[in-house]
Structure 1
Amino acid sequence: MFKPMKLVAFMLACSASFSVTAEEKSVAITQIVEHPALDSVRLGVKEELIEQGFVEGENLKWQYESAQGNPTTAAQIARKFAGESPDVIVAIATPSAQTAAAAARNTAIVFSAVTDPVGAKLVKNLDKPGKNITGTTDMLPVKKHLELVKRLVPGIKTVGTIYNPGEANSVTIVELVEQTAPELDIKVIKAAATKSSDVLTAARSLVGKVDAIYLPTDNTVISAAEAVIKVGEQNNLPVIAADTDTVKRGAIAALGFNYYDVGRQTGAMVALILNGKKPGDIPVQGVEKMELYINPGAAERMGLELPTGILEEAKEVIK
């Protein structure tokens, strides 16, 4: 089992032993789709690199491309970056990480916001990833999420979840939801959306069948979260998310990571590699810190009365 706090101490120690040279380094960012959570990761990476002394236009060449949710485009971006041989490719989210790993076997890769790096066949071992790749995982605490759903929606019997069966990270999370829900006497109904334009139809298919909708960190679904939120508001159907950025967009609540912090952790790993560390020698890092976000206005629009005292527990209450 990997130990994030030990890795942080390890990274700080390594950072102290290296110094930035005047030689320009290059970092290429590939991101499967643009939405607030993944955008926050990218910002965190960039700002951590600045703090570590790598500044775009001074000693750092920075490239960024989004696949706009298209796996074929992600593969094209990965091949392009592999041909350019930057010092590090940063791959944000599982589909981009998989395409980068397939295309760039001789370039250092740091993935971020990948739910299951082993299941996605990015690494064989979290503590000793080996080869040219390492990164951060955002594996979700599914049981805590379902406990939050049950607390918000007393008497809940059935929860719906929307996911893209083509995203390995989403399949892993939905399997965990299906395994965990019976422990809380909750039945799960799934709705598939293979592209963002399918998300509205998938959400509508759950109306009348479920007591609430749980949105995992599925890139296809989160990129179109407003469609699900609209269905929730129109049908008094509570929508609870796995990532905190979606609460700002209109979901009722989330117990999740701050993806900017995930980006900062990723950026620290990138800095180690730019300073000479081999990616395969850096353990994959997890995220332990959880934050509760609540949107009272969203709860009212979806016909849900929030439990007493929950606002006082929140890291942030969205106005």
Structure 2
Amino acid sequence: MCRASEIGCHDDEDNGFKADPPYRVDQPLLDRSLTPSYTRAVKLGRREFSATVALGLHILARRASAQGSAKPPRVGYLGSRNPRSTKAFFDGLQEQGYVRGQNFLLEFRAPERPDKYEEFPGLAAQLVAAGVDVILAATPSAIEATTRATRTIPIVGVDLESDPVAKGWAASLAHPGGNFTGFVLDIPEMSGKQLQFLKEVKPDLSRVAVFGDPRVNELQWKATEAAARGAGLTIQALSVRDVGEVPGAIAEAARQRAGALVVLTSPLVFNNLGRITEAAVKHRIPAICPFAPAFADAGGLIAYGPDLPDLYRRAAGYVGRILKGAKAGDLPVQRLDKFQLVVNLKTARALHLTLPQSLVLRADHVID
């Protein structure tokens, strides 16, 4: 029987063929009665055969040498240090056939702290100097830095805060052109849904505090402000540039009698969810944030937003396609369309709130 590893091997019995009988040792290779001219022809054929074999071995050796010297692709990752997101990214690459350390190398760069936006240009320059073949830019600041650092290296962006066309990163969502593509959030629709959920929790809601980082949240702020006007709500801006400002900002919202808190997305927020939710519960302010499920897992009342691990898996899919020859400018920038609603009943009890059953039943996940 032949083994599966033997390429071109066939099992004679399985294929209905009878194997040739073994050659007898005493059987001469050539009949002694063969003519001299035929014998010379056989010798010539052997010389040609030897030359062919030698040439084939030479070609195989050159191919093996070329394959052995070929460098594995180098993937750049510029963002923040988040194990859940990076794991999802690696899982997505593996689905594309790329395994870290086996057939691709990773160049990871992150600022000392997620709110150290001024470090991104230098980190982007390092990735360009390292000769990476493609870059995953996982924050707005990372995208801004990498698009300025290179016009040739393909960039796949993950951005919940920006409009890539308004920023000049893409000519259009459908046909970005250039070296950028990625995944972005439909911010106006998201803002309206967040306020809707808060109104369901507190039907008499009239004042909402909006917590964000002014360095990256301008678009989200404007969208939330417009949605609040449409819902007849007054909003209070809480601008935070440093993690140390979090407790004071939320305490100010409580002093101003804000009935609820909308937390905008930013690297600073994502890496300090526990501090934000702790302060919100302390001052008995129901809060909502698009970081789902992370915000609710950290103690926030409601998380409604894109499935972040799925987002990074999809971004890895674009990276894999680019490594296989696709051009970033030919891949459309995609608006996120997979969202999840997570509610935390433990937090609701701590806030002395009873969530509407209709809201709980619509949740994709309930923490109790």
Q: TM-score scaled by structure 2?
A: 0.76
Q: Distance in 1 between matches of 2:174 and 2:320?
A: 19
Q: In structure 1, what is the equivalent of residue 282 of structure 2?
A: 234
Aligned: 1:182 with 2:236 = no
Q: In structure 1, what is the equivalent of residue 176 of structure 2?
A: 129
Aligned: 1:289 with 2:338 = yes
Residue 118 of structure 2, aligned match among 63, 66, 72? 72
Aligned: 1:243 with 2:291 = yes
Name the amino acid aligned to 1:200. P
Sequence identity, in percent? 23
Written as runs of structure 1 = structure 2, the 5 A alignment for 1:48-67 is 48-67=92-111
Q: Confirm or deny: 8 A CA contact 2:288 2:304 kept in the other structure.
A: no
Aligned: 1:87 with 2:133 = yes
Residue 144 of structure 2, aligned match among 89, 98, 101? 98
Q: Distance in 2 between matches of 1:297 and 1:108?
A: 44
Q: Confirm or deny: 8 A CA contact 1:30 1:91 kept in the other structure.
A: yes
Q: In structure 1, what is the equivalent of residue 85 of structure 2?
A: 41
Q: In structure 2, what is the equivalent of residue 223 of structure 1?
A: 271
Name the amino acid aligned to 2:148. A
Written as runs of structure 1 = structure 2, the 5 A alignment for 1:236-315 is 236-244=284-292, 245-315=294-364
Q: Confirm or deny: 8 A CA contact 1:214 1:239 kept in the other structure.
A: yes
Unaligned runs of 5+ in 1: 1-20
Unaligned runs of 5+ in 2: 1-66
Q: Distance in 1 between matches of 2:225 and 2:365?
A: 29
> Compared with structure 1, are the counterparts of its residues 65 and 288 closer, same or farther at alpha carbon in structure 2 (3 Å cutoff)?
same
Q: In structure 2, what is the equivalent of residue 109 of structure 1?
A: 155
Q: How far off its partner does 1:23 sit?
A: 5.4
Structure 1 residues 55-102: Cα deviation after superposition (integer angstroms, max 9, x where no partner): 111111012222122112222110100111211110001111111111
Name the amino acid aligned to 2:265. T
Q: How far off its partner does 1:264 sit?
A: 1.2
Q: In structure 1, what is the equivalent of residue 247 of structure 2?
A: 200
Q: Confirm or deny: 8 A CA contact 1:213 1:240 kept in the other structure.
A: yes
Q: In structure 2, what is the equivalent of residue 9 of structure 1?
A: none
Q: In structure 2, what is the equivalent of residue 3 of structure 1?
A: none
Q: How far off its partner does 1:250 sit?
A: 0.6
Aligned: 1:213 with 2:257 = no
Q: Distance in 2 between matches of 1:183 and 1:28?
A: 42
Which secondary structure does the structure 1 equivalent of 2:108 belong to? strand
Name the amino acid aligned to 1:254. A
Which secondary structure does the structure 2 equivalent of 1:191 belong to? strand
Q: In structure 2, what is the equivalent of residue 11 of structure 1?
A: none
Q: Distance in 2 between matches of 1:255 and 1:296?
A: 15
> Compared with structure 1, are the counterparts of its residues 77 and 198 closer, same or farther at alpha carbon in structure 2 (3 Å cutoff)?
same
Q: How far off its partner does 1:286 sit?
A: 1.4
Q: Distance in 2 between matches of 1:194 and 1:58?
A: 40
Q: Confirm or deny: 8 A CA contact 1:165 1:194 kept in the other structure.
A: yes
Q: 43-52 or 195-204, which moves further after superposition?
A: 195-204
Q: Distance in 2 between matches of 1:119 and 1:163?
A: 20
Q: Distance in 2 between matches of 1:73 and 1:194?
A: 15
Which secondary structure does the structure 1 equivalent of 2:164 belong to? coil
Residue 171 of structure 1, aligned match among 195, 213, 218? 218
Q: Confirm or deny: 8 A CA contact 1:196 1:223 kept in the other structure.
A: no
Structure 1 residues 259-302: Cα deviation after superposition (integer angstroms, max 9, x where no partner): 01111111111111000111111110111122110110111112
Q: In structure 1, what is the equivalent of residue 166 of structure 2?
A: 119
Name the amino acid aligned to 1:226. G
Written as runs of structure 1 = structure 2, the 5 A alignment for 1:152-163 is 152-163=201-212
Higher relative contact order (CA 8 A, sep 6+): 1
Q: Confirm or deny: 8 A CA contact 1:113 1:262 kept in the other structure.
A: no
Name the amino acid aligned to 2:302. A
Q: Distance in 1 between matches of 2:191 and 2:341?
A: 14
C-alpha RMSD of matched pairs (Å): 1.7
Q: TM-score scaled by structure 1?
A: 0.87
